[in-house]
Chain A
Amino acid sequence: MPTITETATTSPIGRQTPRIDGPFKVSGTAMYASDFNFTGLLFAVPVEATIANGKLQKLDASEAEKMPGVRAIFHRANIGKIFRSVLQPPNSGIADERRPPLADDVIRYYGQYVAIAVADTFEAAKAAADAVRATYTKDKPNVNLDLQPESEPEAVETTHGRLKRLQSERGDPDKAFASAQVKVDQTYVTPAETHNPIELQGTIAMWDGQMLTIYEESQAVFNLRSVLAQMFGLPKENVRVITKFVGSGFGSKLWPWTHCALACAAARQLGKPVKLVLSRRMMFQSVGHRPRTQQRVRLGATNEGKLVSLMQDYLNDLDILGGYHENCGESTSYFYSVPNLRVHWGRTRRNIASPTPMRGPGAVPGLFATESAMNELADQLKIDPVRLRELNEPKIDEGKGIPFSSRHYLECLQRGGERFGWANRNAEVGSMKRDGSILGWGMSGAAWIAGRFPAQASVELRDDGSARVACGTQDIGTGTYTILAQLVSDKTGVPLNKIEVVLGDTSLPPGPISGGSLVTGSIVPAVFDAADNAITSLLTVATTEPGSPFGNRTPDDLAFEAGRVFAKADGLAKGVSVSDLLRRTNMRLVTGSGKSEGTLDEKKPKVSMHSYCCHFVEVTWQPATARLHVNRVVTVIDGGRIINPLAGRNQIEGAVVMGVGMALLEHTIYDPQNGAPINSNLADYLMAVNADAPLMEVHFLDYPDTDVNPLGARGIGEIGLAGVAAAITAATYHATGVRVRELPIRIEDLLTSSILA
Chain B
Amino acid sequence: MKIFELTRADDPRQAIAAAAKANTAQQGADIRFIAGGTNLVDYMKLNVETPRQLVDVNHLPFDKIEALPDGGLSIGAVVRNSDLAYHPIVRKNYAVLSEALLSGASPQLRNMATTAGNLLQRTRCMYFRDTAMPCNKREPGSGCAAITGVNRGLAILGTSEHCIASNPSDMNVALAALEATIHISGPKGERSVTIGDFHLLPGNTPNRETVLEPGDLITHVTLPPPSPGNRSLYLKLRDRASFEFALASAAVVITADGGKITRARVALGGVGTKPWRSMEAEGELTGQSATQAVFQKAAEAALRDAKPQSQNGFKVELAKRCLVHALKLVTQTA
Contact = CB atoms under 8 A, between A and B. Distances in A.
Interface of A: 50, 123, 126-127, 130, 624-627, 629, 664-665, 669, 671-674, 676, 678-679, 681, 683-684, 686, 688-692, 746-748, 751
A678 B150 contact: yes
* Interface secondary structure of B, over-half rule: loop
Contacts of A672: 148-150
Interface bin, chain B: 20 to 34
Interface of B: 1-3, 47, 124, 126-127, 129-130, 132-133, 145, 148-150, 235, 237, 239-245, 247, 314, 317-318, 321-322, 324-325, 328
A678 B149 contact: yes
Contacts of A126: 1
Given A126-B1, A127-B1, A683-B124, A664 B240 contact: yes
A747 B2 CA distance: 40
A751 B318 contact: yes
A681 B240 CA distance: 16
A207 B149 CA distance: 46
Contacts of B241: 629, 689, 691-692
A692 B240 contact: yes
* Interface secondary structure of A, over-half rule: loop
A747 B247 contact: yes
B324 A624 contact: yes
A75 B325 CA distance: 58
A746 B328 CA distance: 25
Contacts of A665: 239-240
Contacts of B245: 683
6 contacts: A624-B328, A627-B237, A669-B150, A691-B242, A747-B239, A751-B314
Contacts of B322: 625
A677 to B, nearest CB: 10
B126 A679 contact: yes
B237 A127 contact: no
A668 to B, nearest CB: 11
A123 B247 CA distance: 36
A679 B47 CA distance: 17
A748 B248 CA distance: 13
A719 to B, nearest CB: 25
Contacts of A671: 133, 145, 149-150
B321 A689 contact: no
A555 B273 CA distance: 84
A690 B107 CA distance: 14
Interface centre among B130, B148, B317, B322 (most CB of A within 10 A): B130
A748 B314 contact: yes
Nearest to A624: B325
A130 B47 CA distance: 9
Given A127-B1, A624-B321, A674 B133 contact: yes
B237 A751 contact: no
A546 to B, nearest CB: 65
A751 B317 CA distance: 8
A678 B325 contact: no
Contacts of B235: 625
Given A678-B149, A683-B243, 20 more contacts: A624-B325, A625-B237, A626-B318, A629-B241, A664-B239, A665-B240, A671-B133, A672-B149, A672-B150, A674-B133, A681-B129, A684-B124, A684-B126, A686-B240, A689-B240, A689-B241, A689-B242, A691-B241, A692-B240, A692-B241
Contact of A127 (B2, B124, B240, B321): B2
